[in-house]
Structures are given as structure tokens and as C-alpha cells.
Amino acid sequence: MDLRFTAEETAFRNEVRAFFRTALPPEIRRKMVEGRRLGKDDIVRWQRILNEKGWAVPHWPVEWGGTGWTPTQQYIFQEEMQQAPAPQPLAFGTSMVGPVIIAFGNDAQKNRYLPRIRNIEDWWCQGFSEPGSGSDLASLKTSAKRMGDHYIVNGQKTWTTLAQHADMIFCLVRSDPAAKKQEGISFLLIDMKSPGITVRPIVTMDGSAEVNEVFFDEVKVPVANLVGEENKGWDYAKYLLGHERTGIARVGVSKERLRRLKELAALEPAGGGARMIDDGHFREKIAAVEIELKALEMTQLRVVAAERRGRSKKPDPASSILKIKGSEIQQTISELLMDVVGPYAMPYQPDLDGSNQPPIGPDYAGPLAPTYFNWRKISIYGGSNEIQRNIISKAILGL
């Protein structure tokens, strides 16, 4: 198998790299490099720049705004975006519900939602997980009872990322309580401004309110917002999750964070002493994660090569391998970044009376601890790593 890029693909990489260098607003790039949290306006601004270029949804069919790029070009684009580093287009729209609507939605849904997703006119969030229904997602209990031309939705979703900004939510709901748990689920598109919806923030250990609980109390949803067939939602969810897990590998993100790690390790410590890069044991840790990252990249390129040959149009079960190793590598790099700055990684130093004081270390140190804590979730969302190992044992090893 030849995993080298052709001259044309190398030229494409240079074109993409030049675009990111000139089109990405410097203040957004600076936030990305420093690991600081982006605002909603930052994400909207950048995605609209991409959409104006025609690059917001390169993986979509051309008729709906895609680029017609090969799988290799799409891989190069994602890697260069992550290494720029630039924000990803809002994944809940472009990489999750958008592909589901394209594959299973009707013409009215495609014409209404897809242009708005491309230009982020609608901010989407994902309504899958529930209290007690995370890894065992098919046990969800949020109900949708059909009453004429509407469904009445009752229940609760949790860990709903960025729901505080959302205009729309795509939800798995139980539409047939008498059916087997995977067979009685439907896929609904719900307006977040509907009466009966309440969003409550969940403050996480990094100090942010990135995730939320969403409550549905007698919420009316038009039957026209049902994607595909009633009670077939589990099939659509599996389709969505297969694509989500491939993206979680985030090879480009790990490359950029590894570059940042080496850069900070080479700095003179703020409090004096030896540089971390001069510690042989620490260099061994960097080398080990770099080797793991190269192996992950080769695995992802094999998946890309299989797509290029058209071997399968379905999500490759190897996406579970990418998900596991990708999340482990990202978490390892976040740990090494904490090692570099030591106690200065604390975002705040508590005073004796319990109040928080401004950070006492260098500016680059403050965001590292919140990132470390936030990235603990990577091995859980999109299907926990334990669930991915079960998928590998069945789909790849045949156990």
C-alpha cells in the first residue's frame, strides 16, 4: 500500500495551508494556540469565512455545497485546519446532523436545513445521552407520542454540549415503548425555542459550563421534523456515530499540541532552573507519544486509502481504533503540557480565605489545566473507549 502523497496532493496541501495562513483571523488563531476558549462569535465568524470560500462542508455531496474532493484531499484539509490551528466548523451541524439529513432526510428538510447549516444560520446541538443512558444509549427514555400532525416530547437529555447557544437540537426519542429498545427509537429535529424546553448548565471541573441538561415538558414537534422513518432512528444514530468517531482521532490537533509541547519545554522556566527539554526522561516521553501518533496517522491513512479505492461506503469499524488511540494520545499530550509548567498550570492560586487570585505564572500556563481537565471527556464522548473495544472485538476480530 502506497501511503505517499502525489505531486497534485502536495500542491493541494500548499494551497490549503496558504489559505489558513492568510484567511484565519489572527486573534482566533492566537486563542487556538494558547488553548483559550473560543466564543460563539469566533466559531460563527470562521465558519462563514470557510463557507464563502466553499470549504465549510467539503465532505458533503457537491449538490449540497460539498467540494468534490477525494478522501485524501479531505484528510489533508482536516489535518491542515487542525495544525493551523483553526476552529472546526460546528460539528453538530456539519458532521453529524447534516450528513444524516443528506442520507435519510426528505427534500423539504434538505432544502430548509442544509444551506443554514453550511453558513451556521442555525446552531445545532445533540440530544442523545440521558441520565442512565450514556454508553447504553439504546436504553433512552425520552418519549415522543404522536398526536395528529405533532409529536409530544417528554424527558431529559444530559451532557448536551453548547446547548446554551443552540437554535435546534437533533434528538433520539422513544416513539414505540412496546418495541425492543433499538427498534422503537425515532430521530427528531426540534426547535430549541419551543415552549416546554428548559436548558440548565452543568459546571464541569475545568470551571466551564460547556455542557447542559435539557428538559422537555409536553414539547410539540411537527411530524414534518421526523427524519426518515418512524422507529428507524437507531439506524440513523449508528450512521452518525460512525462518522463522529473517525473525526475524534484528531491527528492534526495532536500534531499541533505536540509542537506546542516542544516549544514550551524549550523555554527557560519562569521560576528558574533547568528546561524540561533537557531532561532525558521527559524527552523519552515525548518520543513515545510521537511514535504513537505516527502509528495513528498511518492507521488513519489506511482508512483514507480504503475510501479512495471505494472499498466501502459505510463507516469503517477501524474508526473505533482511531477513536481509542486518538483520545489516549490527546490526553497524554495534555498531561505532558501540565508537566512542563508544573504548579504554574493552576489557573488560579487560592488565597487563605478561599478567594481566587490572578495566575502567578506565565500567561501561557493558565489555560493548560482547564484543557487537561476538559480533555478527560474525550475517551467517553462519541461512544466510550470500552464500548469501542467491544465493537473491535466483534466487527474486526470476530469474537
Confidence check: pLDDT of 1 > 60: no
Grid coordinates of 156 = 431529559
Q: What is the pLDDT of residue 246?
A: 52
**Domain at 124-231, CATH from 3.90.1150.10, 3.40.50.300, 2.40.110.10, 1.10.3720.10:** 2.40.110.10
Cell 476552529, located at residue? 87
Q: Among 7-21, 256-270, 302-316, which stretch is predicted with the lowest mean pLDDT?
A: 302-316
Domain ranges of the chain: 7-89, 124-231, 249-395
Active-site residue, 218 included: no
Contact partners, residue 355, CB within 8 Å, separation at least 6: none
Task: Please tell me whether residue 344 adopts helix, strand or coil conformation.
Answer: helix
Q: What is the pLDDT of residue 38?
A: 92
pLDDT in tens, 383-393: 788 888 888 88
Sign of the C-alpha dihedral, residues 168, 215, 42, 256? negative
Bridge partner residues of 154 (DSSP) = 143
CA angle 281, 283, 285 (to 5 degrees): 75
Confidence check: pLDDT of 348 > 70: no
Q: Please list, residue by residue across 131-161, b when 16 or more beta carbons sit within 10 angstroms of its beta carbon and e when fewer do.
A: eebbeebeebebbbeeeeebbbbbbbbbbbb
Which residue in the list 244, 256, 297, 307 is annotated as catalytic?
244
Q: Letter for the amino acid at 222?
A: P
Confidence check: pLDDT of 73 > 70: yes
Is residue 251 very low, low, confident or very high in pLDDT (cuts 50, 70, 90)? very high
Bridge partner residues of 185 (DSSP) = 174
From 81, 74, 76, 65, select the one nearest 24 (Cα to Cα).
Answer: 81
Cell 411537527, located at residue? 222
pLDDT in tens, 366-382: 888 888 988 888 888 77
**Domain at 249-395, CATH from 1.20.140.10, 3.40.50.720, 1.10.1510.10, 3.90.870.10:** 1.20.140.10
Sign of the C-alpha dihedral, residues 328, 330, 331, 337? positive
Instruction: Give mean pLDDT, residues 130-145.
Output: 89
**Residue spans of beta strands (DSSP E) within the chain:** 124-127, 143-147, 150-157, 168-174, 185-191, 197-202, 211-222, 349-350, 356-357
Q: Mean pLDDT across the chain, nearest whole number?
A: 90
CB 317 within 8 A of CB 79: no
In the chain, pLDDT over 90 holds for what percent of residues?
66
